[in-house]
Amino acid sequence: MKPWPYPFWIAHRGAGRLAPENTLAAFRLGADHGYRMFECDAKLSADGVPFLLHDSTLERTSNGHGIAGEQPWSALAQLDAGGWHSRRYAGEPMPTLEALIRFCLANRHLLDIEIKPTPGIERRTGEAVAKLAGRLWTATDLAPPFLTSFSPKSLEGAHSAQPGLPRGLLLDTLWDGWLATARRLDCAAIVCNYALWDTAIVAQVHAAGMRALSYTVNDESVARWLTGLGTDGVVTDRVDRFSPGA
């Protein structure tokens, strides 16, 4: 396998549940806990701006309403993306992916960008996210952004736009053809729901020249089990529990 330039521990959506997910406040808090690689979710506004949001709709993590990808960035930028979490973060804005990338470059952090498309624009979202990441992540010795998605179409778009950026196929089940799809997309890693891993699957992925990563691991016994299996990385909410140097 090619050398893997990323740390074992990756902070989920910035700082897990300790701060409003996918906000710059969360990434700052994750960094305060010693993390140097962060996972985020990126999708497109109606006018094509890549921004950070996990859900298709706005209600859970902002004071907005409706499908986020159907609204222009000028409207999304006005939303409160922190008040749902706690009064401390009320008024925290929803950031663009560009803002997060610039934050990471300035602070020498690494980034795992999950491409989270609005249904119907999977490939276009992958293309846009990859183009932005490739354009901004230059003139640095940092490892490039790691692009992941549950959507093969999004990874196809990312591959076509920026073939030099590493990709990972996200899996919540081992559906028929998952490994062949990852090979076709020239993925560097498989990122699984941690419960899917066993010795044989880890060996199969490694034999294919890919790394084996897990989401979302918040229990110490599970982390020890995954380490024993020889997996290569863990995404966690518990930035307060796990030492990223471990």
The residues assigned a catalytic role are 12, 54
Query: How far apart are alpha carbons 206 and 231 in whole angstroms?
Result: 9
Query: How far apart are alpha carbons 231 and 199 in whole angstroms?
Result: 9
What number of residues does the chain have?
246
Query: How far apart are alpha carbons 23 and 97 in whole angstroms?
Result: 10
Residue with tokens 């089940």, as numbered in its chain: 173
Residue 41: count other Cβ atoms within 10 Å of its Cβ: 20
Report the half-sphere exposure of 156 (CA within 13 A, side-chain side): 9
Query: How far apart are alpha carbons 26 and 38 in whole angstroms?
Result: 10
Output the six-digit token pair for 198.
């066993």
Residue 56 CA: distances (Å) to CA of 21, 69, 153, 184, 230: 14, 7, 17, 27, 34
Residue 185 CA: distances (Å) to CA of 136, 153, 189: 23, 10, 11
- Collapsing DSSP to helix, strand or coil, 78 comes out as coil
- Collapsing DSSP to helix, strand or coil, 147 comes out as strand
